[in-house]
Structure 1
């Protein structure tokens, strides 16, 4: 739903720039003095930013539709394309500004902003695709990671090993990196629960507690079965 809303906003913005030539919507240009605006190719700048907004809107729409119908890898590729496209447009639109400026300084400022953002996205991708780390103690199972949880054995009501899980309706709070889901999601007929799964791989372990459920699995199906067996031995 959020992806569709953002896509719609970008598409509307793109149309306003491309069709209606509303260059006052362009950040940076709208704060220039009238003297500096005279040295800007307004037609080229407005066209480029309009195309950029339409491209972002299209990518967000495609990613949203792909997520809705379960094509999570396609959705991920769509989202990941946005960052390099943004980097490109930041440098590309400079050709339309003919005002004297310190190009080296502008490049450094852009890199100072873009490099940390790129590193952050890389870190989130790494964390989001890591395998869930599971350990057992005398009284609990511990699932590690950013959305990890300790589950005491005496709070567990039932444990299942299943080949399929209900449809994932939406993310409530977590990470959705392709088929790697970490955090809180809502599933059809099951309500809210916490997932640590590769949604395209089976089987899945479902742990039912007094007021919540947890679902986890691993890339290696044998590891999933092994964790399921060990958990049953502990109960």
Structure 2
């Protein structure tokens, strides 16, 4: 969680500083592609107020991240993730709007590039969300534990050192490479007392199966607690 807060704070400071330098110090060269434009095009954009508008968009975007950070410190769930979503939508909508201030000869090309970027960005976000929300299945075959789906893993049964059915998991310190949205957690996380491991869980649907292999571990459950118990019983039958 501390690492996530530091990233959020860094992005707030970065966007605010860029916006401030553009708006207050007229550091227009910080705008992507501005320095590559002809002197004539630069003057047209400045006259139309394009750099100033873009700088204000960056500053306002930074404030959205700051609000999300502040709310997360009050332990309101998902505020950081939500602030990023709101910031991205705000940023793209306003960049499209201020694009009307660009009446240089490359306006159509720049508008097309921005629209393609928007489609690509939301396409990636949509794909990642879809894959992240897909269920993972636990199965045992050929003396191997198999967890299907995104971030799935296979472990030989003879290397598993501990299996437990628990009601809670330790506090999550940071997501190192994974998916986190609403009550769904999937991928690589670092937990208090346990260190790095993998989660495939619905946070609001206890029980959880804890599986340990040396220094590595997995927490997994189903959205249906009855199915979770069936998985656990199947694993215990294999070991017994």
1:58/1:99 Cα in 2 relative to 1: closer, same or farther (>3 Å)? same
Structure 1 unaligned residues grouped into runs of 5+: none
Aligned with 1:19 (options 15, 24, 33): 24
* Match runs of 1:74-85 below 5 Å: 74-85=79-90
| 2:115 matches 1:111 | yes
C-alpha distance in 2 between matches for 1:185 and 1:29: 40
Please give the secondary structure, in 2, of the residue aligned with 1:40.
Answer: helix
Contact 1:73/1:179 (8 A) holds in 2: no
C-alpha distance in 2 between matches for 1:224 and 1:167: 21
TM-score, normalised via structure 1 length: 0.87
- How far off is 1:63 after superposition? 4.2
Aligned with 1:46 (options 44, 51, 76): 51
Contact 2:167/2:208 (8 A) holds in 1: yes
| Partner residue in 1 for 2:186 | 182
1:8/1:69 Cα in 2 relative to 1: closer, same or farther (>3 Å)? same
Aligned with 1:163 (options 159, 167, 175): 167
- How far off is 1:129 after superposition? 1.4
C-alpha distance in 2 between matches for 1:28 and 1:200: 47
C-alpha distance in 2 between matches for 1:232 and 1:43: 71
Count residues with an aligned counterpart. Answer: 234
Contact 1:74/1:178 (8 A) holds in 2: no
| 2:132 matches 1:132 | no
TM-score, normalised via structure 2 length: 0.85
| Partner residue in 2 for 1:7 | 12
C-alpha distance in 2 between matches for 1:68 and 1:187: 19
| Partner residue in 1 for 2:237 | 233
After superposition, the C-alpha distances for 1:128-173 in whole angstroms (9 at most, x for unaligned) are 1111122221412210122111122211221111111111001222
| 2:217 matches 1:224 | no
Please give the secondary structure, in 2, of the residue aligned with 1:185.
Answer: strand
1:70/1:158 Cα in 2 relative to 1: closer, same or farther (>3 Å)? farther
C-alpha distance in 2 between matches for 1:42 and 1:190: 58
| Partner residue in 2 for 1:59 | 64
| Partner residue in 1 for 2:3 | none
C-alpha distance in 2 between matches for 1:66 and 1:143: 35
C-alpha distance in 1 between matches for 2:75 and 2:160: 30
C-alpha distance in 2 between matches for 1:173 and 1:10: 24
Structure 2 unaligned residues grouped into runs of 5+: 1-5
| 2:149 matches 1:149 | no
